[in-house]
Structure 1
Amino acid sequence: MMRAVGSVRVQDHYFTADPTAPSRPGTVRLHTDGVDLTLATDSGVFSQSRVDRGTKVLLDSAPMPSTRGPLLDLGCGYGPIALTLATRRRRLPVWAIDLNDRALGLTRANADAAGLGNVTACRPDEVPDDVVFAGIYSNPPIRSGKAALHEMLLRWLPRLDPAGVAYLVVSKNLGSDSLARWLDEQGFPTSRLTSDRGFRVLEVRPSTS
């Protein structure tokens, strides 16, 4: 997907706030333990034609947190992670955040269609500062660049409940092991929960500092 800026053409990424790609609505099936939904998708959002393999690995392997409290889908896209969390924990608030307005609209529509009133899809700055999360789940936007990824994680991981946990799924070929080392260096104890189909699921604990 390309868009023109002056005389230069640049990539219109799924982490663009306002994608310029023409709308091409579609649907995908989301099937994981206890969840079977058909989700609306569109161009200009992450993995529009199918639930991403990494997301599927995360949903199939990452457990729900042992402590109760709000849950966060960090970089929600059209909502497969958020809707899975909301289905498994219907009495808990699930925050789904993204920079992509088209993705947020799809997450809201998919939550409404599934009857999941516990999902709030919004921009990051719209999450109240006093919300602390029992669990953070993410297939983070690695291709946004290391600096942006690190900034995002350092913004949200400190908002874990002291007894909470974060689960991140990252391709082995896109630096999952180096990300785990970096998280450890930042004071967030990180271990590998599982490795499947070329993806690592990292289990990240709150900072010890």
Structure 2
Amino acid sequence: MTSHYFNPDPDTPSRTATVTLLLPDLHLRLTTDRGVFSPDRVDLGTRILLETVPAPPDHGTLLDLGCGYGPIALTMARRAPHATVVGVDTNRRALDLARRNAEANNVPNAHFHPAPEVPDPGAPLAGPFAALWSNPPIRIGKNALHALLTTWLARLEEGAHAHLVVHRNLGADSLQRWLDTVGHPAERVASRAGYRILRTTRHP
């Protein structure tokens, strides 16, 4: 069986490692493992996203969609210490790593959960979210990706921004066009090394 980073229970044998995320305003040491997204280094797209986006709101609930072992969620939480950050993923190994990384880096306002299709009303995953940052799981396929984004973008609060990083060779420009057609008009706010940073805002 081939194990993908979006499998709930990767069958790849565990072999942990440590990677470093060094940004101008923070330094994180993160435990990774085989069977999760980008286990050997913090993905370049993730790094470009974190170097590009403005500071998140320092209030409310912020979302990292497809959190992996936690670099985006932990950065959001460090930059917005009075907000609550939730990271969601289908990969249980990645979620376990993200929780360990939050504890090891002393980031108490970041919490990690399996991604439900329909969260309980009033639960943290129901939103509304004051911001969404994501390096979305492009390789799950276009239809699944569109369903995922439709579900979670609808949980943004009015006026909140979502920032997504996608490589042009993996469909960034077609994704932007699709967002425009489904009521989430997107603009490209940065482009580097083939990666596009797309921003969409929740309107009434």
Structure 1 residues 151 and 207, CA, compared in 2 at 3 Å: closer, same or farther? farther
| Runs of at least 4 residues off by over 3 Å | 65-68
Once residues 33 and 179 of structure 1 are traced to their aligned partners in structure 2, the CA distance between those partners, rounded to angstroms, is: 30
TM-aligned CA deviation for residue 124 of structure 1: 1.6
**Could you tell me how far apart the structure 1 residues matched to 2:58 and 2:81 are?**
15
Instruction: Choose 82-91 or 122-131, whichever is displaced more.
Output: 122-131
Q: State the distance in 2 between where 1:172 and 1:161 align.
A: 28
Q: Secondary structure at the match of 2:154?
A: helix
Q: Which runs of 5+ in 2 are unaligned?
A: none
Instruction: Check conservation: 2:127, 2:156, Cα contact below 8 A.
Output: no
CA distance in 2, matches of 1:84, 1:130: 22
1:44 to 22, 35, 44: 35
Tell me the equivalent position of 2:26.
Answer: 35
More divergent stretch after superposition (126-135 vs 147-156): 126-135
CA RMSD of aligned residues (A): 1.4
Matched residues in 2 for 1:70 and 1:51: separation?
A: 24
SS in 1 for 2:55: coil
How far did 1:35 drift?
1.3
Q: Distance in 2 between matches of 1:64 and 1:188?
A: 21
**What TM-score does the superposition give when structure 2 sets the normalisation length?**
0.94
Instruction: Please state how far the C-alpha of 1:67 moved relative to its aligned partner.
Output: 7.6
What's the CA shift for 1:91? 1.1
Number of equivalences: 199
From 71, 79, 92, give the equivalent of 2:70.
Answer: 79
The percent identity for this pair of structures is: 48
Question: 1:38-59 CA distances to partner (integer Å, 9 max, x unpaired)?
Answer: 1000000000000000000000
Deviations 1:45-80 (A, max 9, x none): 000000000000000001134584211000000000
Aligned-partner Cα distance in 1 for 2:151–2:73 = 19
Q: Give the conservation status (yes or no) of the 8 Å contact 2:84–2:109.
A: yes
Letter in 2 for 1:182: W
CA shift for structure 1 position 103: 0.2
- Normalised by the size of structure 1, how large is the TM-score? 0.91
Asked if 1:60 is matched to 2:56, the reply is no
Which runs of 5 or more structure 1 residues have no equivalent in the other structure? Answer: 4-10
Q: Deviation digits for residues 1-30 of structure 1, max 9, x if unmatched?
A: xx2xxxxxxx21000000000000000001
Tell me the residue number matched to 1:144: 140
- 1:131 Cα deviation from its structure 2 partner: 2.1
Larger radius of gyration: 1
Structure 1 residues 60 and 146, CA, compared in 2 at 3 Å: closer, same or farther?
A: same
